Amino acid sequence: MVSDLNSVFSNSAKGMKRSAIRELLKLTQRCDIISFAGGLPSPDSFPIEQLKEISCEVLEKEGAQALQYGSTEGDNKLREILVNRYRKDGVDITTNNLVITTASQQALDLIPKIFVNPGDKVICGLPSYLGALSAFSTYGAQMIGIRLDDKGMRADLLEKELEQMKAKGEKPKFIYIIPDFQNPAGITMPESRRLEIIAIARKYDVLIVEDSPYRELRFEGEPQRTMLQLDGTGHVILLGTMSKIFVPGFRMGWVVAHEDVIDKIVMAKQATDLCTSAYLQKIAARYFEKGYFDQNLKKIIDSYRIKRDAMLAAFRKYMPQGVKWTEPEGGLFLFLTLPEHMNAEELFKIAIDQKVAFVLGSVFHCDGSGHNTMRLNFSFMSKEQNEEGVKRLAAAIKQQM
C-alpha cells in the first residue's frame, strides 16, 4: 500500500459520501424494528413462479444469445416493447431514441458524465432524490435547489433563479425533476405546472431531465402526461426503470431522449459496463410479451394502495397537532414535516428506541435544510406494520415534544 493513499485518490473520489439511506438501513435490520427507511418494493410483488417459467424458456430458445455479450443500446425486442408503450401514450419516438441502462441509477450517473464539468450548476427540487444528488455531485456539479409547493417545483422561483443566473452570464446544464409521486415528497406535478416549467426551460434554453421511476404506480386521480410528451422538441430527457414495477434485482432501466443525446449516452455506457445483461433483458422482454407485466402491475397497485391508506389513517389517528404530511396519489413514499423547532435527527434516536425507523429529510435537501422533515416508505412493510409503525413514531414525536 502506498504511504499516503489519500494523495492518490481523485478529487471526485475524495468528495464521495456514503449513501445516508444505505447507512441508515444497516441500523434498521433488526427484526423487531419497523423500518420505513428503505425505498423497497414489497417482496410479495415479485413474480417468482412466472420468472422461473420464463427463465427456462429463454435458456431453451435463446440460450446462446442470452448468455453472450449484448449491444450497448440494449436488446432490440425489449427496446421495441418499451418504445411501443410510449407511442401508445402519444410519445413520438423510435428505438433510436431509447437506450437500456443498468437501472435508472446508471442513467443518473451517465447524464452528468456527458453534461457536467466541475463547477457546473444543476437545478433540482428542494427536496429531491438523494441518489441523483449524489451522482451529480460526483462529477462536480453545484446543485441549486428550488422549493416545492403542493404542485411540485415552483415555476416562479425557477424563473427567478434562471433570470439571476442569466444576468451573471451563467446557465445550468439541466433541470432535474421527478414529476410523478416525487421522491421524497410524494407530490405529483399537474399538467399546468409541467407546461409552465417546459416553457421556462425553452425560454432560457435549458434541458430538463425527467426522472420517472414511479409513474405506473398510480392509485387514484388522473394520469398526467409526461414532460417528454408535452415538450416534443427534444428539450426533455426521460429516465425510466423497472425496479419499482417489476423486480429491483434485475437492475433494468432506460433513457429516452433526442438521438444526439442517446449517442453520447451509448458512448459513455460503453466505457462503464459495455452492456446491460442480455439474459435479464430477454427475460424482461418475454415477461411483457406474455402479458404478465400488466397483470402483476395491477396487483402491485392494489396492494400498495391498501398500505398507503393504512398509513394515512394511522397518521390521522395518532399524530399530535403540528405534524403535517403529504398524501400521495401513488408511488412508494410520503413526506412528514415536524414543527419548525424540532429536529428529525434527534427524533431518530428516540424512534429507534421505540423500534421504528425513517429517513432524515435533510439528506434530500441540497442546501442542508429540511432538518424537521422525514421520508416514510409505505410499500415494504405490511398494512398492520404500517399502522403499528406510525403509532410508535407518533409516540416518539410526542416524547420529543
Q: Among 270, 290, 310, give the residue marking a domain's end.
A: 290
Residues 263 and 337 in one domain: no
Contact 366, 372 (CB under 8 A): no
- pLDDT confidence of residue 1: 67
Give the domain extent around 251.
69-290
Q: Does 279 lie in the same domain as 309?
A: no
Residue 204 domain-assigned?
yes
E strand segments, 90-194: 98-102, 121-126, 142-149, 152-153, 174-177
One domain for residues 277 and 383: no
Cβ atoms 372, 340 nearer than 8 A: yes
Q: Identify the domain boundary among 259, 290, 321.
A: 290
Q: Digits of tens for pLDDT over the chain (401 positions)?
A: 677 777 777 777 766 666 655 655 665 567 789 999 988 899 999 999 999 999 999 999 999 999 999 999 999 999 999 999 999 999 999 999 999 999 999 999 999 999 999 999 999 999 999 999 999 999 999 999 999 999 999 999 999 999 999 999 999 999 999 999 999 999 999 999 999 999 999 999 999 999 999 999 999 999 999 999 999 999 999 999 999 999 999 999 999 999 999 999 999 999 999 999 999 999 999 999 999 999 999 999 999 999 999 999 999 999 999 999 999 999 999 999 999 999 999 999 999 999 999 999 999 999 999 999 999 999 999 999 999 999 999 999 999 99
Q: 218-255 as b/e, with b when 16 or more CB fall inside 10 Å?
A: bbeeeebebbbbbbeeebbbbbbbbbbbbbbebbbbbb
Instruction: Give the burial class of 140: count Cβ atoms within 10 A of its Cβ; 0-12 exposed, 13-18 middle, 19 or more buried.
Output: middle
- pLDDT on residue 6: 76
Residue 194 lies in a domain: yes
Q: Is residue 316 part of a domain?
A: yes
- 284, containing H or E segment: helix 278-289
The reply to whether 64 falls in a domain is no
- pLDDT (0 to 100) of residue 378: 97
In a domain, 1, yes or no: no
Domain boundary among 250, 265, 290: 290
Confirm whether pTM is higher than 0.75. yes
With respect to residue 2, please indicate whether it lies within any of the assigned structural domains.
Answer: no
What residue type is assigned to position 62 of the chain?
Answer: E
Q: 139 and 163 share a domain?
A: yes
39 lies in a domain?
yes
Query: Are residues 113 and 182 both part of a single domain?
Result: yes
Residues 261 and 306 in one domain: no
- Tell me which H or E stretch contains 209: strand 207-211
Q: What is the number of structural domains in the chain?
A: 2
Q: Are residues 30 and 88 in the same domain?
A: no
| Residue 210, SS3 per DSSP | strand
> What CA–CA distance (Å, rounded) separates 205 from 201?
6
**Residues 298, 348 within the same domain:** yes
Backbone dihedral angles phi then psi of residue 354, each to the nearest 5 degrees: -85, 0
Same domain as 92, residue 212: yes
Are 146 and 280 contained in the same domain? yes
* Residue 105, all three cell numbers: 441509477
Here the cell at position 366 is 441540497
**Is 318 in the same domain as 231?**
no
| Same structural domain, 248 and 314 | no
Q: Looking at the domain assignment, is residue 59 inside a domain?
A: no
Q: Which 8-state DSSP code applies to residue 367?
A: T
**Domain containing 350 — which CATH number?**
3.90.1150.10
CB 122, CB 143: distance < 8 Å: yes
CATH number, domain of 95, equals 3.40.640.10
